[in-house]
A and B are shown apart, each in its own frame.
Chain A
Amino acid sequence: MMRAIAALAAAALYGLVALPSPVGVTVGLAGLLPAAVAILARWPLMAVVAACGYLVAYTVALSIGQAALRVAPALTFGLALVVFLEAVDLSARVHRATVQGGVVRAALGRWLALGFGVLAVAIVTLTTAGPLARILPQAVSPLVAAAGGLASVLIVAALVRRAA
């Protein structure tokens, strides 16, 4: 069951990569092939490689396509990434184990809740990002973006370090 969910997520990711540009059909294989290996071998580390491959392919497809910002596919892409990683991880955990009822149901509920949470955060972010972009001078916006990105990663790393 978990491997089927992971396969669905991998297929969705491939479809989303192929969406912005026809080049995505080819570059999407950078994610799809390791994803297939990860699903078949129940190998979480390969799933991370596949996720990174999908992100690179998505970046290439977006850069070549030069399409306008589309929020829904990007959020779906992010959610599919999470579902894919968690599903491969869970499929490795339940392999050759007695699985009591509720494990898959709990995972589906968790992903649904995450979807709603992400939607809410995205609405808030996009609502505040619009006025902020108008205030910021054009020249400093890349620097602010880089600083924001670095800060978010550092904050997450600090959280992980504290939790560990």
Chain B
Amino acid sequence: MTGRVTPLALSLVAIAGWAVSLAVLSDRAELLLAGLPVLVLLAALARPAAPPPYAVAHELSSDRIFEGDTVTLTITVTARSRIGLIELLGPRPPGSLVRSGHHRVVMTLGRGDTGRASYTLHFPGRGAHDLGTIAVRVRDRLGLRAWEHRHVDPRPLLVYPRIVPLRHVPRPAHVQASVGDYVSRALGEGIEPGEIRQFAPGDRIKQVNWRASLRLGQLYVTQQHRERNADVVLMLDTLAEVGAPSETTLDLGVRAAASLATAYLGRKDRVGLITYGGVMSWVRPRSGAVQYERLADALLRADVVFTYVAKDLLRIPPRVLSSQALVIAITPLLDRRFAKAVLDLAARGFDLVVLVVSPVDVTRAAVAPTATGELAARLWRLERGADLGELRRHGLPVIEWRPPAPLEAALAESRRRRFRLANAG
């Protein structure tokens, strides 16, 4: 705990000196008397003082929330002796807004008293925060001395990206060995009826197609197509972003990635993630609810790290980026390196879909509308149209998402016509 003389005490010293000087210079005793209260107050500094003992505790209403949610932080102070004035500065992470109450608290406490204050923080954007540090400043009764202390009790708060339920998602071209929601070309156990063939030893009675058997005079069975899952890898562009805080192209891309991950995991697919930027990281494709936690943890930490270096996707292990996976590249296409990486993947034969988050609309939403701005946006859109056309000419399916239009609408509009899946495991 750090102790010091308050600025108020220093002000009083200045006033006392000024009053005494003026008294001597003007030969008026009234000025000495006017300085007397200040001198009496400052005389209290002669007595040594120790910081008053107290205990601070705080708690969060929740440690995991979604973007746009609020969390209430309650601070409790218990004084073990009388405290003239205690100031508390609660945590307020960057990007958060105080929705109700104040994150600064001022109170006076008697011996054994307990003071409690709450405030609500609104988190418009994703992120991992620690709301565990409270700055405490205690003043003595006269306000001349202050002791400062940082109360640290880690309280992590994870703000997950907002999820939009998606019904239409790009269908993978290849399936994997595990059971899932996609009807495979391969025949086996399943519920989707397939071809009819003659009964063979080992076939079950419930597979017998009685209508065909009666018509043809011998037993026929209905085969079923297998239902299989797929590997989906979400490749997020973290090379550059534009837009207002918490509504940047990266934030929108992260929300799209979280929504797609939820949709695919709900279809029993294995979903992985690659963040392609200054720092390249990945999450191996897996399925299940725990995998969503892994993906969400990676997504809420995704950030733009500037670099001149173009990362090579060959560094990514094949178990993360398997050749049978559907790769959904989520990008605002602001950096040419990402387009190059996408074309590289397409050249290597990956099943690829490019989801482009339009930076034009995001930027227009962030700046005040002007005639020049409108013209610039039109030119930019034309230029981007040419860029997207270039990707399409390479045979890449490109979906352009123009926020604030819903992602579902963009996906439904560009739903790819895919043939029934083959290559069941």
Contact = CB atoms under 8 A, between A and B. Distances in A.
B5 interface: yes
B45 A55 contact: no
A56 B16 CA distance: 13
Nearest to A105: B108
B30 A69 contact: yes
Interface string A76-99: 011101100110011001101111
B34 interface: yes
Nearest to A99: B106
Given A97-B104, A146-B24, A55 B11 contact: no
A117 to B, nearest CB: 6
Given A81-B38, A98-B106, A75 B33 contact: yes
A34 to B, nearest CB: 13
A130 to B, nearest CB: 12
A86 B8 contact: yes
Interface string B6-36: 0111111111111111111011111111111
B85 interface: yes
Contacts of B43: 156, 159
Contacts, number: 178
Contact of A69 (B19, B21, B29, B142): B29
B11 A44 contact: yes
Given A74-B34, A164-B5, A81 B106 contact: no
B412 to A, nearest CB: 47
Contacts of A98: 101-102, 104-106, 117, 119
28 contacts: A52-B14, A56-B22, A62-B31, A70-B30, A74-B29, A74-B30, A74-B31, A74-B33, A77-B34, A78-B35, A81-B34, A81-B38, A82-B38, A85-B11, A86-B8, A89-B8, A96-B102, A98-B106, A100-B108, A100-B117, A103-B106, A114-B41, A118-B37, A145-B27, A156-B45, A159-B42, A160-B45, A163-B45
